[in-house]
Structures are given as structure tokens and as C-alpha cells.
């Protein structure tokens, strides 16, 4: 169907059957159980009342089910985007005020609009400009910042700050005011959730529980923590002892209203909204592609932009804040057997029922429990081992990752990720401006040519071959010129210079002018310039110019043919070596 590309539900919906329905319903139940405490916690992280987290987990899931292309991606509030929301909205409104919630909804609207526009313009490829080291560094630093920002709730104190230094100084200033009962319940919750992650499943399977049932109980760990803490608060009257609780959570479906569209507010939030859009999209599409590959499915990044954009617009009109695909809940959705995005819509239904019937039970939920839930979740994202791996493999990637981490910790999330992106692009331009190239020779007994510094090869003092291992364009054209001139100057006996081009996929106008300059300068020096193994599309472009008419040498289909024509003595030496080897045997 023609419209299925823009409305994927028209594709998978035609094949929906009873078996798929049962799988989606089971996955929805499991994800709903997991999502309720997560939604409450991430609303707290964003500086919003807990019900905002529930609201952001209803309509956005329905919107993604209509427009998204991933069968198992679970959309909703996530830690990093919630932190970025708190930073962005905190600059235009005071936390806890009506204007704060309004600004959060406007931020979601702007983010959604940006995503939809990028999708309509087919700009999904722009996500490639955020390298994995930058994303990894950003998530690691954000995990540390988020954990530190929630420590105040576990200690039962008031502290503020958007950087590590600000948070640490603020926490040290009020450490003496730590509230012991709050600390005890927060620490106990964190210890329990860590045990749930690392030891609960093995214990349950050892006592005979089926693996699937054990896995479901592990995923429900945060719910158990919520229920146990509420029971403790009520039984021990901890609220009277000063333990801060969530309090009254409005009962009912989210209020539907358009966000504030005032120009001043939207203008103040625009830069943050764009950054949240890109970060959220990169995180989401990475998860979606990973899960799709496991079932040999595919996603459309451009349509994913539209799906996520629709989800954020839906969040903005239903009392929510910016959302994206979450790693943990998407993996749970996948493992639970979700077959289609309908599982997300069913999850939305479960959350809606929770807002109608369960919110009174949350009155006595300690804020420290939500903070502990966030801390345990985000600290699993911290990966300092990636720094060591990057250092071993690529110093440039290490620099990008380390810079992103340090600047995010020192100056905040927006500064950190923007610096990381700029550094990644700068490193990319630097690397492409200095393309790898190698002088090559013939491997005896073969028709293969390899780097003379790595292999024992046959060469001729009259002929030199430079293999270029990257496309030629304005950023590296001058570097190629300098490389060729230096080689020719160091070998005055040269008669022929061959540019071997198996990896050259394109030559832009700047590079063409450099080739013309190389051809002329070599000709003036009595050296002929030849090309070998030029790809068809590149050759087509050269044929539309006068370069081939002015070329002092020839163009060869293969490097072996070039050597056979220009330096047959190399082949004679190769044959002689082969004959001697055969005679010795």
C-alpha cells in the first residue's frame, strides 16, 4: 500500500492475528509493570510532578504505534532526556511552578516539530554526525550527573547544581543535615534493586521457578521496591518522622491542552529542543536497529523521525515532557515477545488504567525510593571501560570521548555534547584531509600490490606507484599534491608515476584541479603521470573534462597491466624468482 510507508500500521496491521495479539498483550503487561515506577522517577528527574511521567507514557506510545517502524521499541521518558529537560526548562521557569510544567510541554512540542520536519526532509542520516564515542561519553557523564543530582533525595537534603562541581559542593555544604530515616530507606532500596539485577534471577531459578517467570519477577523489581517502601512508610509512620513522600497524585487521564506557543518561550527553548531531538533520535534509532537486526527486520530512520516527532507532540498536548525510545524497556518488550508496535499501545492502556485507579496508592511513596531507582538505573550506563578501549584502538576517538565526558561533567549536558560533536567533526575533517596512501610494489608470484613498508615486494627505480585509500576532495587535494611532489623529489631517477585508485570513489572539482597541477608539474620534470584501477563512476566524471586529453601518461584497467607495460623488468624478476624457487624444490 502506498500510504503504508508513512503510516506503518497499515502494513503490519493487515497481518495482525490472535497469536500476535496474545504476544503483544503479555509484553504490554510486563512493560507496564516496569514503566510505572520508571515514569514516576523520570518525572522527578525532570523536575516535574510524578503524574507527568505517567502522562508522558500514554499518548506518546499510541502515536509511535501509528507512525513508528520498529516492532519492539518502547517510547517514553528516559534518564538522559529527562535530565536535559530539567536543564532546559530550568533556564526559563522555576521548578515546581505552573510555568515549569507548561514550558516542559512546549519543549516537547518543539522537539516533536523538529523531528517531524527532519523526517519530512529525509534527514535521518544526520544522526551519523554524532559518533559512538561522543554518545558513549555523553551517556557516561550524564549517568554520573543524574546519580549525583538524585543523591540529595536519598540524603533528605536540599542541594542544587547542573555540573559535578556545583553538585558536590552543594551536597558537602548540607551533608551534616542528612536525614537518617530517609537515607536508610533510600540505601535499602538501592541495595535491593542492585541485588534484583545481579542475584535475584539465579536465586529464583535455583528454587525451581521457570526461567520466564523468574525473568518477569526481576523486571518487576522496582514495583516490589515501591510496594515495600509504601508499606514501610505506612506501618512505621515514617512520614511523621520526616521522610518526604510523593503525596497526592491526581487521579484520572491526562489533561489535553495545547502547549504555550508564545514566541519568547519557544525561542528560548529552541536550541535545547533541537539538541534533545538529535540526542533522543540517535539513542532511539540505535536501540531500534539493534533489536530489529535480531529478527532480521529493518527500520526506516526517516520514518523513525516522524514517529518520535509524533510521540513528542502527543506528549506536549497531554501534560507530558520530551520522550524517546528507552533501552531497558525496549529490551524487556523484545524479550517478552512483542510482535508489533501494538504492544506499545496496549502498554499505554495499562498506564492509563494506573492513572485512573492506582494513583491514590502512591501517596505514601517515598521520594528517596524514586531517586534510588533512578540512581541504580543510570549508574549501569556509566562505562569508563570504553575510555580504555578507545585509547587502545583510536586516540582520536579517545579524545572525543574524554572531552565529551569532562565538559559534560564540568559545564553541563548541552556544552558537553556540543563540544563532543564539534570535536568529532574536526577529527573527521583532519583525518580525511590526510588520506592514507602507500607506495606499493608487486608481491612475487602474484598479481597483488602491497605497501613496500609492510611487505617484501618488487619495485623499479624508474616507476613508482602510490595507492590512494580515500576519495579525493577539497580537504585532502593539497595534501595529495604535497605527497606526490615529495616522492618525486626524493627519487630523481623516476620516469613514470602511477596513481593507483581502487579506493577512490569520487573526485571533486578541487581534487581535479590538483590532479591537473600534478600532471603538469610532473610533465615539466620529465615524469609521466598514469592512473590505474579507476572506478567507473569516477572515470565517467573524468571523461567529461579535458584532463584525460592533457594526461601525460595512460589509464590502466589494472595495476598489473600498468607494471607489465611500464616496468616489464619487474615481471621478469618475479618469473626468475619463481623459476629459482621451483628448481630448488
Q: Which regions of 388-481 does DSSP assign to beta strands (E)?
A: 437-442, 449-451, 463-468
Tell me, what's the pLDDT at 279? 86
pLDDT band, residue 559 (cuts 50/70/90): very high
Residues in the chain: 585
Q: Is residue 34 part of a domain?
A: yes
The rounded distance, in Å, linking the Cα atoms of 321 and 76 is 9
Residues 14 and 89 in one domain: yes
Contact 469, 435 (CB under 8 A): yes
Taking each continuous run of H as one helix and of E as one strand, the counts in the chain are 26, 8
pLDDT band, residue 311 (cuts 50/70/90): very high
Tell me, what's the pLDDT at 337? 78
Does residue 128 carry a pLDDT above 90?
no
pLDDT band, residue 485 (cuts 50/70/90): very high
Does residue 6 carry a pLDDT above 80?
no
Q: Is residue 401 part of a domain?
A: no
User: H or E stretch including 178?
Assistant: none
User: Average pLDDT of 565-575?
Assistant: 87
Does residue 353 carry a pLDDT above 60?
yes
Tell me, what's the pLDDT at 348? 94
Radius of gyration over every alpha carbon of the chain, rounded to an integer in angstroms = 31
Distance between start and end Cα atoms, the chain: 68
Does residue 229 carry a pLDDT above 70?
yes
Residues 368 and 467 in one domain: no
pLDDT band, residue 113 (cuts 50/70/90): very high
User: Average pLDDT of 283-311?
Assistant: 85
Residues 240 and 357 in one domain: yes
Residues 378 and 500 in one domain: no
Residues 350 and 466 in one domain: no
Does residue 25 carry a pLDDT above 60?
yes
Residues 373 and 467 in one domain: no
Relative orientation angle of helices 367-379 and 79-90, to the nearest 10 degrees: 120
Q: Is residue 141 part of a domain?
A: no
Tell me, what's the pLDDT at 585? 57
Least confident of 155-159, 207-211, 502-506: 207-211
Provide the percentage of residues in the chain whose pLDDT is more than 90. Answer: 49
Q: Choose between 320 and 289: higher pLDDT.
A: 320
Q: Is residue 160 part of a domain?
A: no
Residue 484, domain CATH: 3.30.750.24
Q: Is residue 18 part of a domain?
A: yes
Residues β-bridged to residue 580: none
Half-sphere exposure of residue 44: CA atoms within 13 angstroms, side-chain side: 29
Tell me, what's the pLDDT at 535? 95
Relative orientation angle of helices 395-411 and 413-433, to the nearest 10 degrees: 160
Residues 482 and 347 in one domain: no
Residues 115 and 224 in one domain: yes
Residues 110 and 236 in one domain: yes
Tell me, what's the pLDDT at 313? 97
Question: What's the pTM value of the predicted model, to 2 decimals?
Answer: 0.77
Which residue bears the cell 624444490?
A: 585
Least confident of 70-84, 518-532, 564-578: 564-578
Cα torsion angle, 504, 509, 510, 516, sign: positive
Tell me, what's the pLDDT at 579? 67
Tell me, what's the pLDDT at 394? 85
Largest Cα span, the chain:
98
Which residue bears the cell 533522543?
A: 280
pLDDT one-digit tens code per residue, 186-218: 999 999 989 988 888 888 888 888 877 777 777
The rounded distance, in Å, linking the Cα atoms of 564 and 551 is 20
Does residue 129 carry a pLDDT above 70?
no
Q: Is residue 552 part of a domain?
A: yes
Residues 265 and 371 in one domain: yes
The rounded distance, in Å, linking the Cα atoms of 377 and 143 is 9
Last residue of a domain, one of 368, 383, 398: 383
Does residue 4 carry a pLDDT above 70?
no
Any alpha helices (H) in 56-131, and if so which ranges? 59-67, 79-90, 98-120
**Which structural domain range is residue 441 located in?**
437-584
The set of residues, in sequence order, having a beta carbon less than 8 Å from that of 378 and lying 6+ positions away, is: 79, 142, 143, 146, 147
User: Average pLDDT of 467-495?
Assistant: 93
pLDDT band, residue 503 (cuts 50/70/90): very high
pLDDT one-digit tens code per residue, 506-558: 999 999 999 999 999 999 999 999 999 999 999 999 999 999 999 999 999 99
The rounded distance, in Å, linking the Cα atoms of 532 and 513 is 19
Q: Is residue 399 part of a domain?
A: no
Tell me, what's the pLDDT at 179? 93
By DSSP bridging, strand 324-325 and strand 75-76 are: antiparallel
Residues 230 and 83 in one domain: yes
The rounded distance, in Å, linking the Cα atoms of 299 and 120 is 16
Tell me, what's the pLDDT at 512? 95
Tell me, what's the pLDDT at 92? 92
The rounded distance, in Å, linking the Cα atoms of 477 and 500 is 15
Residues 367 and 454 in one domain: no
Provide the percentage of residues in the chain whose pLDDT is more than 70. Answer: 97
Of 412, 411, 386, nearest in space to 400 by CA = 386
Number of domains in the chain: 2
Q: Which letter, b or e, does each residue of 254-282 get, where b requires 16 or more Cβ atoms within 10 Å of its Cβ?
A: beeeebbeeeebbebbeebbebbbbbbbb
Tell me, what's the pLDDT at 539? 95
Tell me, what's the pLDDT at 376? 86
Tell me, what's the pLDDT at 383? 85
Tell me, what's the pLDDT at 438? 95
Q: Is residue 426 part of a domain?
A: no
Mean pLDDT of the chain: 88
The set of residues, in sequence order, having a beta carbon less than 8 Å from that of 104 and lying 6+ positions away, is: 46, 47, 48, 52, 85, 89, 320, 321, 322
Q: How many CB atoms lie within 10 A of CB 173?
A: 12
Amino acid at each position: 500500500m502506498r500510504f503504508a510507508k508513512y503510516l506503518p500500521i497499515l502494513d503490519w496491521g493487515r497481518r495482525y492475528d490472535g497469536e500476535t495479539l496474545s504476544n503483544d498483550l503479555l509484553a504490554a503487561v510486563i512493560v507496564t509493570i516496569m514503566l510505572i515506577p520508571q515514569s514516576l522517577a523520570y518525572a522527578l528527574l525532570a523536575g516535574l510532578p510524578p503524574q507527568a511521567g505517567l502522562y508522558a507514557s500514554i499518548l506518546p506510545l499510541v502515536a509511535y504505534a501509528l507512525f513508528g517502524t520498529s516492532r519492539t521499541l518502547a517510547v517514553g521518558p528516559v534518564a538522559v532526556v529527562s535530565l536535559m529537560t530539567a536543564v532546559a526548562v530550568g533556564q526559563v521557569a522555576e521548578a515546581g511552578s505552573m510555568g515549569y510544567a507548561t514550558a516542559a510541554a512546549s519543549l516537547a512540542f518543539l522537539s516533536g516539530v523538529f523531528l517531524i520536519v527532519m523526517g519530512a526532509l529525509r534527514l535521518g542520516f544526520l544522526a551519523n554526525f554524532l559518533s559512538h564515542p561522543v554518545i558513549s561519553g555523553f551517556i557516561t557523564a550524564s549517568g554520573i550527573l543524574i546519580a549525583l543530582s538524585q543523591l540529595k533525595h536519598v540524603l533528605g537534603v536540599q542541594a542544587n547544581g547542573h555540573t559535578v562541581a556545583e553538585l558536590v559542593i552543594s551536597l558537602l555544604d548540607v551533608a551534616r543535615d542528612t536525614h537518617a530515616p530517609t537515607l536508610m530507606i533510600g540505601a535499602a532500596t538501592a541495595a535491593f534493586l542492585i541485588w534484583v539485577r545481579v542475584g535475584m534471577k539465579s536465586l529464583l531459578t535455583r528454587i525451581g521457578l521457570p526461567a520466564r517467570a523468574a525473568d518477569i519477577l526481576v523486571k518487576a523489581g522496582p514495583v516490589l521496591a515501591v510496594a515495600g517502601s509504601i508499606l514501610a512508610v505506612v506501618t512505621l509512620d515514617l512520614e511523621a518522622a520526616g521522610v518526604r513522600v510523593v503525596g497526592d497524585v491526581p487521579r484520572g487521564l491526562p489533561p489535553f491542552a495545547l502547549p504555550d506557543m508564545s514566541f519568547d518561550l519557544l525561542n528560548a527553548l529552541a536550541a535545547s529542543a533541537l539538541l534533545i531531538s538529535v540526542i533522543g533520535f540517535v539513542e532511539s534509532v540505535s536501540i531500534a536497529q539493534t533489536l530489529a537486526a535480531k529478527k532480521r527486520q529493518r527500520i526506516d530512520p526517516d520514518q523513525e523521525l516522524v514517529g518520535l516527532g509524533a510521540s513528542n507532540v502527543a506528549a506536549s498536548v497531554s501534560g507530558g515532557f520530551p520522550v524517546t525510545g528507552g533501552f531497558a524497556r525496549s529490551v524487556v518488550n523484545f524479550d517478552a515477545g512483542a510482535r508489533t508496535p501494538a504492544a506499545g499501545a496496549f502498554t499505554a492502556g495499562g498506564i492509563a488504567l494506573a492513572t485512573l485507579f492506582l494513583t491514590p496508592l502512591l501517596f505514601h511513596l517515598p521520594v528517596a525510593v524514586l531517586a534510588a531507582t533512578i540512581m541504580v538505573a543510570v549508574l549501569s550506563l556509566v562505562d569508563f571501560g570504553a575510555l580504555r578501549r578507545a585509547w587502545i584502538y583510536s586516540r582520536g576517538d579517545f579524545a572525543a570521548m574524554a572531552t565529551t565526558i569532562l565538559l559534560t561533567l564540568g559545564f553541563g549536558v548541552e556544552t558537553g555534547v556540543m563540544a563532543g560533536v564539534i570535536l568529532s567533526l574536526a577529527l573527521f575533517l583532519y583525518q580525511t584531509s590526510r588520506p592514507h596512501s602507500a607506495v606499493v610494489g608487486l608481491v612475487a608470484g602474484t598479481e597483488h600490490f602491497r605497501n613496500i613498508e609492510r611487505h617484501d615486494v618488487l619495485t623499479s627505480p624508474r616507476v613508482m606507484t602510490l595507492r590512494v585509500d580515500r576519495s579525493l576532495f577539497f580537504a585532502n587535494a593539497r595534501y595529495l599534491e604535497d605527497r606526490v611532489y615529495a616522492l618525486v623529489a626524493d627519487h630523481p631517477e623516476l620516469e613514470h608515476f602511477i596513481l593507483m585508485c581502487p579506493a577512490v570513489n569520487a573526485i571533486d572539482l578541487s581534487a581535479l584541479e590538483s590532479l591537473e597541477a600534478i600532471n603538469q608539474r610532473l610533465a615539466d620534470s620529465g615524469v609521466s603521470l598514469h592512473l590505474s584501477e579507476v572506478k567507473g563512476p569516477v572515470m565517467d566524471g573524468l571523461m567529461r573534462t579535458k584532463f584525460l586529453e592533457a594526461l601525460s601518461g595512460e589509464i590502466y584497467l589494472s595495476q598489473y597491466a600498468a607494471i607489465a607495460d611500464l616496468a616489464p623488468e619487474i615481471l621478469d624478476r618475479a618469473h626468475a624468482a619463481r623459476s629459482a624457487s621451483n628448481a630448488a624444490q
